[in-house]
Structure 1
């Protein structure tokens, strides 16, 4: 992109847009040109939406998902009080499970995973709050839905050891071959998980 052809103000917008995930300099340039051609109302509404997100969005004090209220919509919903608590690493993981429509209980967002090499230990995650919720909310089952990475597995193992003597059912989400996947292209870890998580069919 010929940067000198753009006025400095437009260059600055493109530079900032290109720092967003998934946006390269060309895509950022196209978005900047779209905003330049957009009506004042449309452009200012977008800027105002970004400002409101930064001012109003915070973590839910119960589950640590994002919210703009006292607690998030999932924690507010009485139909979600199923006695099940799904533990995830991040809000992005929560949203992925929600999009599947396969789970209708409540969540607990750890806000990360154990990573000793990076200096992330149990005290850096929302584990203490998890223990308090299990008791306070009468949780009957804890579903550990951390990612199948080394950090996610370490976190799952730590939580299972921590909770094994508590009066709750513990479960770990299964991992395996994706629908439409091909065994010969599946990585070793996924195949191992698929085999160890096999179930009887007769």
Structure 2
């Protein structure tokens, strides 16, 4: 009974933070490129090469990373917390799901080398800033899952604020990554 109380308390507090997470963190914007008119200079081959590379490699990498990031959160974390709040999940199952979240974010933050080979020097720096912020976002979500697992193990809600802080930091890092992505896309256009 006591464990159910802790799961319920944990899930109630986490759902407050999860409501923000349910909103998509990023917008999948389709890049629109103007066609040159007769009075405009044609785009140089270098710019076209960089643009094509960005769309085929760098953007694909970032979009896949963000999809994995969001899917892990929405399909495992949020679902687990909602089921815990409704008392539809056992402590063991909740713990197992949180472990999956932790492992998924660890994998994301470890194996992420963003393709930058054909980008200009300033755009390479922006791409590196994107992946650095993505990795920090994933690392903070990993830490949040670790803290949530600890809460379940100890039947104590003492670390809920710390866990929510990690989630907030993660959201901030993701926001910074998306700002850098928009800047990079603006530079390439």
Question: Fold match, TM over 0.5?
Answer: no
Compute the TM-score of the two structures, normalised by the length of structure 2.
Answer: 0.21
TM-score, normalised to structure 1, is 0.20
Higher relative contact order (CA 8 A, sep 6+): 2
**Larger radius of gyration, structure 1 or 2?**
1
